Amino acid sequence: MSEVTTASEGTRKPSFWYGLPVGYTSLDLQPPTERLVELIKRLRGLPDQEREEADRALRLYASIVSQLNANRVQECALGVHPYDAGGFTTSVFTVSTLPTTGSAKLAVAGLAGNVGGGKDDGVRPLELPCGLGLLSENGVAAPRSSMRPELNDTLPTHLWQGVVVVAAPSAPELIVLQMVTPNGDAADDYRNILLGIARTLTFSDPARTAATGQADQPEGSIGAAVRNDFG
């Protein structure tokens, strides 16, 4: 299980957990200083052309990590999957927290009460093991490169985006799970992956549950959710 905390560095304790399916690799959003120093040392030992390309990639990574941290992103996982038409397709899954004023549960409940509940509405309420949530999905314009505009012709023009919002039980914040992919034709599959992850979301420490020695966890528990959604 992945574990996430929004506490300060000196008192870091996980505040919620979720499962990632096979095929996703998490990006390190808090790289240790020692690792960055080691990377820089290796860059200096590369030939000029390779050093320039590696330096550009490292700067891009640092910029992306900085932007993600600034937007309270707690997890960014990259997925690579076989494509039915041949080759591979990609997706990006993120988890972020959004502070609210007042009760986060009331905010989600209020939004859920104002939507019709059909897929055509774009937003629908969800009954998850961890509580009430919301699912929204839409098509968005893909970002374009201003630094290398010649690459824009090779990039997708639109992305499918799915978002699940859940209220944290003991903090004034929303947990936001987001899945983005350029493969809009497989939106049903990516929606199912997103919902599968959402069903594993828990605010109770799974390790504490495992420590009880209960081999068979009840339906609706985090262990059952992982078995059902990710095998």
Q: pLDDT per residue over 44-62, tens digit each? A: 888 887 777 777 777 767 7
pLDDT band with cut points at 50, 70 and 90 for residue 161: very high
Lowest mean pLDDT, pick from 21-30, 45-54, 88-97 = 45-54
Q: What is the mean pLDDT of residues 22-29?
A: 87
| Distance linking the first and last C-alpha atoms of the chain | 14
Q: What is the mean pLDDT of residues 74-89?
A: 82
pTM for this entry: 0.73
- C-alpha radius of gyration, the chain, whole number: 20
CA distances from 46 to 36, 38, 50, 116, 200 (A): 16, 13, 6, 58, 44
Phi-psi region of 69 (alpha: psi -120 to 50; beta: other; left: phi over 0): alpha
10 Å CB burial of residue 139 (0-12, 13-18, 19+) is exposed
pLDDT recorded at residue 176: 92
Q: What is the mean pLDDT of residues 163-184?
A: 89
pLDDT recorded at residue 64: 77
Q: Considering only residues 179 and 206, tell me which one the structure prediction assigns the higher pLDDT.
A: 179
pLDDT recorded at residue 119: 47
pLDDT band with cut points at 50, 70 and 90 for residue 214: low
Question: Is residue 8's pLDDT more than 70?
Answer: no
Q: Considering only residues 175 and 117, tell me which one the structure prediction assigns the higher pLDDT.
A: 175
User: For 217, which DSSP code?
Assistant: P
List the structure tokens of 21. Answer: 């399916």
Q: Rounded to an integer, what distance in angstroms lies between the CA atom of residue 56 and that of residue 78?
A: 20
Report the chain's mean pLDDT, rounded to a whole number: 76
87: three-class secondary structure by DSSP:
coil
Q: Rounded to an integer, what distance in angstroms lies between the CA atom of residue 13 and that of residue 3?
A: 9
State which amino acid sits at residue 215: A
10 Å CB burial of residue 165 (0-12, 13-18, 19+) is buried
- Show me where the domains of the chain are located: 16-27+75-230
Q: What is the mean pLDDT of residues 119-144?
A: 80
List the structure tokens of 140. Answer: 């968005």
Residues 92 and 174 sit within 8 Å (Cβ to Cβ): no
Residues 222 and 199 sit within 8 Å (Cβ to Cβ): no
pLDDT recorded at residue 219: 41
Nearest alpha-carbon partner for 80 in 71, 72, 92: 92
pLDDT recorded at residue 224: 47
> To which residue do tokens 């490292």 refer?
58
pLDDT band with cut points at 50, 70 and 90 for residue 188: very high
Q: What is the CATH number of domain 16-27+75-230?
A: 3.40.1000
